[in-house]
Chain A
Amino acid sequence: MKDLIEEYLVGQFAGKSFAPLEDQARIDLSEIIKHDNMQGGKLAFTTDSYVIFPLFFPGGDIGRLAVAGTVNDLSVGGAKPLYLSCSLIIEEGFALDDLRKIVASMHETAREAGVAIVTGDTKVVEKGAADKLFINTAGIGLIPFGVEISAGAAKVGDYIIINGTIGDHGASIVASRQDLALETSMQSDCRPLNHLIQSMLVASSEIHCLRDATRGGVATVLNEFAEASRVGIRLYENALPIQDETRGICEILGLDPLYLANEGKIVAVVAAESAGAILDAMKQQGFDQAAIIGEVIAAESPQVTMKTIFGGEKMIDLLTGDQLPRIC
């Protein structure tokens, strides 16, 4: 077990300066204090577990997902992510080659995000006790003084912004499952978004709510915002950026892109007058398809609705369980 950690994890991750092979990473407090605006700032701390099938998918793998996911969970709170932990639960018999690839991918994604994986653990469990590989990552980041982003902060008149096409990750995962035999060029959008979010925060201090639209998709995040802020949210169907491939997969299987998972998409609720500046900042970061997709409206009870391309208005409710394909 020690070999596994040394060969595959400590060798890859920037663990050495954080007391390698002690039972905990040791971070100098001076490292934290040196960041800007920390007087009155907050420490952000999060954890998430990653269990995805297949482990390797077009545009990513479970390792990239595990790093980007936790980086993004920190970032959407306005935090600058700094340190991650990584815990692997490996099913007996899992190919070491695959493990090596996944760990390399974690390393690469951490480098891209500018975070250090400073501590970790591996457990090997009996065959059947886990499905190949589960990864847990936890992360620590810093929220500078004055940044106050919250699901409950949406105000009537705010605009809803997304940083690109909806449902890419979910559609690529569905398409890559072998039982469907669909051939597409879909790629997951799995990526760390901390640099994007930092540039949005520089562009405007009027970002009220921010969340990454992972499991449950854009619809679920918007329902959370509406509920927490006690407002209505109205989407415009003709403003939603969705790739043709995603639409095609959804048409065939009877799925709705608004509920598909994303791994590189954030939904922001921003003051209307800041929307232009924030969109510009997003586009400068290479998110060309970033768009305003809706607005916050007054409502008697929290709800999300969508103006359809035909001018009708329909509810975008929370899902009951997972989306299931329809038969005909």
Chain B
Amino acid sequence: MKYVDEFRQPEKAEALFKAIDNLAAPLSDKLARAVHIMEFCGGHTHAIFRFGLEQRLSKSVELIHGPGCPVCVLPMGRVDDCVALAERPEVIFTTFGDAMRVPGSQKSLLQAKADGADIRMVYSPLDALNLAKKNPDREVIFFALGFETTMPSTALTVLQAAEGNISNFSLFCNHITTVPILESLLDSPTFNIDGFVVPGHVSMVVGEKPFATIAERYKKPMVITGFEPLDILQSLHMLLVQLQSGKPCLENQYARVVQKAGNIPGLMAMQKVFELREKFDWRGLGEIDKSGVKITEEYAAFDAERKFAVPNLKVDDPHECQCGEVLKGEIKPWQCKVFGAPCTPQNPLGALMVSSEGACAAYYSFGNTKELLDKRQEARPTK
């Protein structure tokens, strides 16, 4: 397939695996541990597992799968709010598909749908707006979710709704931002990551500057990265070159998509429609300052939280979950007390087991069987 297979050539991957190994081995010797590289985009986590890249990497490099899956880090209380909104008789609740199975404290949207709520899967917020136009006697709510990647399309939809005076459309806004979460990880004293695979699609929106600033402030190598296997391998190589040279900075591996200044019309739309929240709650990590956005006063008419009574209750994560430690790379998923039993993709207790992009679900579903089975068994009796 054109424009895809070019980035999946096994021979080129082979050469990169070797080059990565050559660079990582001496670095790892110096550190007396593996080089820790974190990706914090669910798309990268998914690709790493889908193509089985991790097990082909040298033991000198360890990938830590950070908090990059917006579905996973959604707190249970917000899912409860979704269900409450969706169960209002006048409401058509619209959502992206992968939010359907996220468990709330009582039920998921999928269960609410089975119980009779009018919940519809859409592929774009504009589909939700069209539903609102077609159903003027119903209230259509769009479950806005995701990092900066999905914000421009939500913002533009609100602007279009305002322009067309579509008064029966609103957003339940749960957009979150990458930089504050990254800073909060980097500020944590136990955090020892040597370099970052930076989300390509987020960067496509926000541009290079936010990450360049972090790379400089925290002296950490960062590479904006595409989502094909060769993109990821090349980016790992670039990070190791930076580590070797001792000159950390931000580089852009995904230059075929990401422009330095980002998506300016998208950013302008976001600025009109969204403003930072004081703080936002992350599943597995708790409240983080200025890490989410809400709808500005000007577009308040399209804010489902203002329009309807939302329970807005905080539901604590199950106390036995160790999602936070996994997200920070302090433990591996299978070292968690509940990994595999009772926490499974069928019955997720913790955030990271929720979506296939979550680190635990990825290990559980795709992880190299033998190694993982052994490690699961090793980990279990000692806990």
Contacts and interface: CB of A to CB of B under 8 A. Distances in A.
Chains A and B are bound partners = yes
A304 to B, nearest CB: 10
A179, A253, A254, A310, most chain B CB atoms within 10 A: A310
Interface in B23-56: 42-43, 46, 49-56
Contacts of B369: 303, 305, 313, 315
Interface in A112-157: none
Nearest to B201: A328
B374 to A, nearest CB: 10
B357 interface: yes
Contacts of B4: 247, 251
A325 B368 contact: no
A180 interface: yes
Interface stretch (B144-152, B308-316, B325-333): B144-152
Interface string B168-204: 0000000000000000000000000000000001000
Interface in A285-313: 300-301, 303, 305, 308-313
A312 B146 contact: no
A67 to B, nearest CB: 30
Contacts of A300: 373
Nearest to A311: B56
A325 B56 contact: no
A226 to B, nearest CB: 12
Given A308-B51, A312-B52, A324 B365 contact: no
B349 interface: no
B8 A309 contact: yes
A156 B269 CA distance: 59
B299 interface: no
Contact of A310 (B13, B127, B366): B13
Contacts of B99: 327
Contacts of B229: 310
Contacts of B13: 310
A106 to B, nearest CB: 31
Q: B53, B70, B101, B123: which has the most chain A beta carbons within 10 Å?
A: B123
B97 A312 contact: no
Given A244-B1, A311-B56, A315-B367, A326 B51 contact: no
Interface in B124-139: 127
A303 B43 CA distance: 26
Most chain A CB within a 10 A radius of its CB, from B42, B71, B122, B365: B365
Nearest to B365: A317
B97 A328 contact: no
A248 B121 contact: no
A19 B121 CA distance: 48
A247 to B, nearest CB: 5
A26 interface: no
Nearest to B355: A326
Given A325-B121, A327-B71, A312 B149 contact: no
Name the interface size band of chain A.
Answer: 20 to 34
A314 B149 contact: no
Counting contact residues on chain B (CB < 8 A from A), the size range is: 35 or more
B345 interface: yes
A324 B10 contact: no
Contacts of B149: 328
A325 B123 contact: yes
Among A254, A308, A321, A325, the one with the most B-chain Cβ atoms within 10 Å of its Cβ is A308
A320 interface: yes
A326 B357 contact: yes
Interface in B77-113: 96-101, 110
Contacts of A315: 365-369
B227 to A, nearest CB: 10
B382 interface: no
A311 B146 contact: no
Nearest to A256: B50
A247 B147 CA distance: 26
Most buried by B among A317, A320, A327: A327
B245 interface: no
B346 interface: yes
B95 to A, nearest CB: 9
B143 to A, nearest CB: 10
Interface of B: 1, 4, 8, 10, 13, 42-43, 46, 49-56, 70-71, 96-101, 110, 121-123, 127, 145-147, 149-150, 201, 229, 345-346, 355-357, 365-369, 373
12 contacts: A244-B1, A308-B50, A308-B52, A310-B13, A310-B51, A311-B52, A314-B368, A317-B366, A320-B346, A321-B110, A327-B98, A328-B42
4 smallest CB-CB distances across A and B, nearest first, come from: A312-B52, A324-B97, A308-B52, A325-B97
Given A315-B365, A324-B101, A326-B46, 6 more contacts: A311-B10, A312-B368, A317-B365, A324-B97, A327-B71, A327-B96
